[in-house]
Amino acid sequence: MSQPLTLLSPAKLNLFLHIVGRRADGYHQLQTLFQLLDWGDQIQFTANASGEVRLSGDSLGIPPEENLIIRAALALPRKPQQQGVDIHLEKHIPAGGGLGGGSSNAATTLLALNQLWRLGLSLSQLQQIGAQLGADVPVFVAGHSAWAEGIGDVLTPVQLPQRWYLVLMPECQVSTGEIFSHQQLTRDTSPIKIAAFFEGHTRNDCQKLVRSLHPEVNNALNWLDKFGNARMTGTGACVFCGFQDEHSAQSALSQAPRHLNGFVARGVNESPVLKALARLEE
């Protein structure tokens, strides 16, 4: 049995989300900017020779065959009779929040087991496997804040200025499938260039619809708007606002109503997973 490897599986924010079209297969054409955070779930991996993939901890009641961590492990080209792993999940990222928890967990699993099982797969190969698990998995495998197009799979790494974010977690779950299939969703936003984001010409095309369907999200945005340009991440339910420093973000969080849970995190350009694995290679 190997030494346990514990990694932070980071959350992400969509700093904006434009839906610029819909493909014939039903997938939406997007433009978005993924900001990785230094906050997320903790996952511990202990490789063994049992050949089994075993998950413990906070499974959120998802059947094993649907859990992205197990699906990611089983998607790797391992030797089933020799390469097994015990995985323990400590969950902090809420489900249905738009913070990419399941996708991040899957990517962290691919990266960790590629190293623990000595599979020798490249990041590009791991991204291809990840893309079969979910549209957001490749950005977490690549491990860099990125401008994304296509269905979210065409990635361009971006160096973002350091910001601190107050993220609020309304007590509701938003179904991504419901939002993307809703008749009232805006799907014809004109594509923009990266420079337009830095000039402030962006929004979240899902936000208006989610606000109308989920009063909890609407109320959280109304409260957070006092501190800046509050915005929803992904299809929600979580909302966020950027700050120049940690103190300002923590000060705002301390004023939040009791029913609004939240956290403060720093935006990072490089994933803490890649940093941790690189240190192991030194």
SS3 215: helix
For 9, 28, 126, 223, 239, the CA distances from 132, given in Å and listed in that order, are: 19, 16, 10, 38, 28
- Asked if 221 and 196 count as a contact pair (C-beta separation under 8 A), the reply is no
N-term to C-term CA, the chain: 21
Instruction: Judge contact between 233 and 133, C-beta under 8 A.
Output: no
CA 89, 94, 100, 102 torsion-angle sign? positive
Helical (H) or strand (E) element with 63: none
Residues in CB range of 35: below 8 A, 6 or more apart: 12, 13, 14, 15, 145, 160, 163, 165, 267
C-alpha angle 274/154/185, rounded to 5°? 115
Annotated active-site residue 12? The verdict is yes
DSSP state of 65: G
**Which is the catalytic residue, given 12, 25, 38, 188?**
12
Q: Establish whether 225 is a catalytic residue.
A: no
List 42's β-bridge partners, or say none.
8, 90
Q: How far is Cα 130 from Cα 220, in angstroms, rounded to an integer?
A: 32
Helix (H) / strand (E) element for 161: namely none
How far is the C-alpha of 44 from the C-alpha of 57, rounded, in Å?
10
Catalytic-role residue among 86, 91, 136, 275: 136
Give the active site residues: 12, 136
